[in-house]
Amino acid sequence: MDFAESERVRTIRSIAREFVQKELVPLEPALRRRRFVELLPELRRVRDRAKETGLWAAHLPAEWGGAGLGLVEFAHLSEELGRTPIGHYAFNVQAPDVGNMEILLEHGTDAQKERFLRPLVRGDIRSCFTMTEPEFPGSNPTWMGTTAVRDGDAWVIRGHKWFASSVDGAAFAICMAVTDPDAESPYQRASMILVPTDAPGFEHVANLSVMGDRGSDYASHAEVSYHGCRVPLENLLGAEGAGFAIAQDRLGAGRVHHCMRWIGICERALDLLCRHAATRQLSPGRPLGTRQIVQQWIAESRAEIHGARLMVLHAAWKIAAQGTYAAREEISLIKFTVARTMQRVLDRAIQTLGALGMTDDTPLAWWWAHERGARIYDGPDEVHVSVVAKRILRGYGMDAR
């Protein structure tokens, strides 16, 4: 196995790191003081400059305006952008748009690509993904209440969703809905349907208050109702009954994107921790970093981040080489390992900074609140732990279902 970074990866990392430092870190205090929606004019200008770097929507092929990065290359970029809360948004590679772009590219018809994908890639519109429902367990995505029924030339969608990120201001949603409740396999009951948010019967009920923040625009999570919402039959995305399979396929690469973003967060947190440890004097001439407990936090964080990065890059390599299905154990391993690593590293950094770590003078407190969800979304820790353990036990002749 070759651990060397290619010339291209080194260039991507260096362009992204410089952009984050020069253009995005200076915007962070405003992001913490003001609502996201109030920053849109500044963010638009930053996005225009991001386009000039050649890394805009970098996961997409060049003919779609991207940089044609492979998954491993994109993973490196994701780490660099993860060092600031607005890195991915600045380059139009933020969830859920990044996954929605990938689904549209892979499964959309030519007409769907023109109508939904092209403006999304340009950054002219945003999108959202509505799957989770308050009344059903999101951890079992084969069981949901939302239905889509054919009526003449339209789908009629009825259902109740929540925790859909970035609905506020989105131009369209991808809706997961049951289209064949009688399909023998529970994995073939649901389909994905493209729903413009101005379609009759689509209601953005409200942004949810999450960790004390109702959010706005892209930085929000919302409740949505489909009240007999009508969209043309041609808005079916991919094959009928393929919703679960498409979602699983999308989540493979999506988890790599998230995990490398979290590693970027870890690196920034460790940097803040070390700077403070090296400069904060406990008594004259005795900086905090002279304490063994702080040294232990530094060394353990470095070891955990290093291990986590290698795991994610390996998973990305395996997905790219053998496909999502072959890499499902690696995908589950990274999902719960890196989410927990991030939580530990953030906690150590906040503890080292003391009261300063609780303020909004650094991004640590923001991440502490906004990234707690990492252990829940895209599959809670416990589901992924269970996937891995069951597969291992199967090797011992045990059916652990």
Ligand X SMILES: Cc1cc2nc3c(=O)[nH]c(=O)nc-3n(C[C@H](O)[C@H](O)[C@H](O)COP(=O)(O)OP(=O)(O)OC[C@H]3O[C@@H](n4cnc5c(N)ncnc54)[C@H](O)[C@@H]3O)c2cc1C
Query: Site residues (CB under 6 A) for ligand X?
Result: 96, 129-132, 137-139, 163-165, 221, 373, 376-377, 380, 382-383, 386
Residue 259 or 353 with smaller CB distance to ligand X: 259
Classify each residue of 197-210 as buried b or exposed e, where b means 16 or more C-beta atoms within 10 Å of its C-beta.
bebeebebeebbeb
CB of 114 within 8 A of CB of 121? Answer: no
Q: In this chain, which residue has its C-beta nearest to ligand X?
A: 138
Q: Which of 234, 243, 241 is nearest to 155 (CA)?
A: 234
Residue 112 or 386 with smaller CB distance to ligand X: 386
What is the closest distance, in whole angstroms, from the C-beta atom of residue 235 to ligand X in the complex? 18
Distances 130 to 6, 27, 121, 302 between C-alpha atoms, Å: 38, 30, 20, 37
Pairing verdict, β 221-232 and 202-207 = antiparallel
Residue 50 or 219 with smaller CB distance to ligand X: 219
Residue 225 or 386 with smaller CB distance to ligand X: 386
What is the closest distance, in whole angstroms, from the C-beta atom of residue 372 to ligand X in the complex? 8
Residue 224 or 320 with smaller CB distance to ligand X: 224
What is the closest distance, in whole angstroms, from the C-beta atom of residue 213 to ligand X in the complex? 11
Q: At what angle do helices 292-322 and 243-279 cross, to 10 degrees?
A: 150
What is the closest distance, in whole angstroms, from the C-beta atom of residue 167 to ligand X in the complex? 8
Tokens of 284: 């004259």
Distance CA 259, CA 52 (A): 26
What is the closest distance, in whole angstroms, from the C-beta atom of residue 66 to ligand X in the complex? 22
Residue 202 or 297 with smaller CB distance to ligand X: 202
Looking at 237-279, list the stretches that DSSP marks H as alpha helix, in order from N- to C-terminal side: 243-279
Kindly tell me the number of DSSP H helices and DSSP E strands found in the chain: 14, 10
What is the closest distance, in whole angstroms, from the C-beta atom of residue 96 to ligand X in the complex? 5
Residue 176 or 350 with smaller CB distance to ligand X: 176
What is the closest distance, in whole angstroms, from the C-beta atom of residue 277 to ligand X in the complex? 31
Distance CA 49, CA 397 (A): 56
Q: What is the DSSP string of 142-204?
A: T----EEEEETTEEEEEEEEEEEET-TT-SEEEEEEES-TT-SSGGGSEEEEEEETTSTTEEE
Q: Return the amino acid letter for 237.
A: L
